[in-house]
Amino acid sequence: MAKMSNIMVLKQNEQPTISIRTKTSVDQLPQLIGESYGKMSIYLNELNETLSDVPFVAYHNMDMQNLDVEIGFPVANLLPGKGDIKAGSIPAGLIVFSMNRGPYSKTEPLYREMAKWIEKNGFEAIGTAYEYYYNDTSFLETELLTKIVMPVKKRI
């Protein structure tokens, strides 16, 4: 498995989104992601809209038995919500990110490496971690490409 741990810091603009926020266990997450992406894709088709970037999952906690996740799509403009699909945004600000190539189950070492990098480089992690999925499970597990994003602020 090729490890890609080039960690970088960027300033990002606010990004409008549609998303479904729910709680689940890590075991149920893949099915839930698939169902949510399907539901949001149908909704975007109804509105004649498309994604403005790749799909994401925001992790509001890391409790593997009771994950608080937001499964979403970046969109070009603020769209109305519908049912459990909510309009929202990813906030502007400083982020630290890195790319992971390989199985989703093998991202934990990169999270640890990023946390060390953040500390070593005078930043503090704040807010919600995001994973952006550049391809899907129809690819070989070793070829899955995931961008991991952590919002940060400069330590004072």
Residue by residue, pLDDT tens for the chain (156 residues) are: 334 469 999 999 999 999 999 999 989 998 999 999 999 999 999 999 999 999 999 999 988 889 999 999 999 999 999 999 999 999 999 999 999 999 888 888 999 999 999 999 999 999 899 999 999 777 788 889 999 999 999 998
Candidates 3, 73, 67; CA nearest to 45 is 73
Residue 121 lies in a domain: yes
CA distance 43 to 87: 12
Residue 113 belongs to a domain with what CATH number?
3.20.80.10
Residue 26 lies in a domain: yes
Number of helices (H) and strands (E), helices first, in the chain?
2, 9
Residue 81 lies in a domain: yes
Number of domains in the chain: 1
Residue 115 lies in a domain: yes
Reduce the DSSP state of residue 112 to 3 states and report it.
Answer: helix
Residue 92 lies in a domain: yes
Q: Which amino acid is at 71?
A: I
Residue 139 lies in a domain: yes
Residue 1 lies in a domain: no
Across the chain, where does the E strand assignment appear? Answer: 8-12, 15-24, 56-59, 67-74, 86-90, 93-101, 123-125, 129-133, 145-154
Reduce the DSSP state of residue 51 to 3 states and report it.
Answer: strand
Question: Which structural domain, as residue segments, surrounds residue 25?
Answer: 8-154
Q: What pTM does this model have?
A: 0.90
Q: What is the DSSP letter of 121?
A: T
CA distance 117 to 74: 27
Residue 66 lies in a domain: yes
Cβ-count burial 60-71 (b if 16+ within 10 Å, e if not): eeeeeeebebbb
